[in-house]
């Protein structure tokens, strides 16, 4: 009986925390070799995440895989201050001759920071719909933040799609 109860608690806990909607997947067919796509993907990564941090988590040219850790920042006015939220995510590129698959997943809130006071704030983990978890900001503000996060991640997918089809395309919005 204890085992069944414990199993149910674990299932309920993992289901409540599991993300199902903050995942993007794009599969494309292009008339390019694996080497060309790999090289153009590396260029896209360098141009998109031009950070001093080492963002590449794994890279295997023979297997045709690149995994990176990306980060997005958003400022949210809250009461009389401004809070900056940071969201981390993984981007996986799987590359073959004439084919590429891009996935964005494992999106989570790395933290919130009160810009004016210099203090940490409560995290707002990704959520779907209009029912935000118990947080210190209004539900409307949290929903706006989620919409901005989704737009940012979709923008990455769209930019890569344009880049892989035309490597001379450089997104001026970054």
The answer to the question of residue 151 being in a domain is: yes
The answer to the question of residue 170 being in a domain is: no
pLDDT for the residue numbered 132? 61
pLDDT for the residue numbered 8? 36
Cα separation, 170 vs 18, in Å, equals 35
pLDDT for the residue numbered 64? 97
Cα separation, 170 vs 160, in Å, equals 10
Is the whole model's pTM more than 0.95, yes or no? no
pLDDT, averaged per 10 consecutive residues of the chain (174 residues), comes to 40 37 90 95 90 80 96 88 93 97 95 90 86 72 91 95 80 47
The answer to the question of residue 173 being in a domain is: no
The answer to the question of residue 172 being in a domain is: no
CATH at 103: 3.30.530.80
The answer to the question of residue 171 being in a domain is: no
CA atoms within 13 A on the CB side of 69: 11
pLDDT for the residue numbered 85? 94
Cα separation, 169 vs 163, in Å, equals 5
Which token pair is 22?
């903050």
What range does the domain containing 79 cover? 2-165
pLDDT for the residue numbered 53? 64
Q: What's the domain count of the chain? A: 1
* Closest residue by Cα to residue 41 from 160, 170, 166, 162: 160
């Amino acid at each position: 009986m204890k085992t069944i109860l414990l199993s149910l608690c674990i299932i309920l806990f993992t289901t409540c925390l599991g993300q199902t909607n903050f995942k993007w997947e794009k599969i494309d067919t292009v008339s390019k070799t694996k080497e060309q796509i790999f090289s153009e993907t590396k260029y896209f990564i360098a141009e998109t995440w031009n950070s001093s941090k080492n963002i590449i988590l794994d890279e295997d040219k023979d297997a045709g895989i690149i995994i990176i850790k990306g980060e997005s920042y958003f400022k949210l006015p809250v009461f009389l201050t401004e809070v900056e939220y940071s969201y981390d995510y993984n981007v996986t590129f799987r590359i073959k001759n004439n084919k590429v698959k891009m996935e964005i997943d494992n999106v989570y809130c790395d933290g919130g920071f009160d810009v004016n006071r210099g203090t940490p704030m409560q995290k707002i983990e990704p959520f779907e719909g209009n029912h935000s978890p118990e947080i210190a900001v209004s539900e409307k503000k949290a929903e706006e933040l989620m919409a901005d996060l989704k737009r940012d991640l979709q923008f990455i997918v769209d930019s890569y799609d344009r880049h892989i089809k035309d490597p001379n395309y450089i997104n001026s919005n970054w």
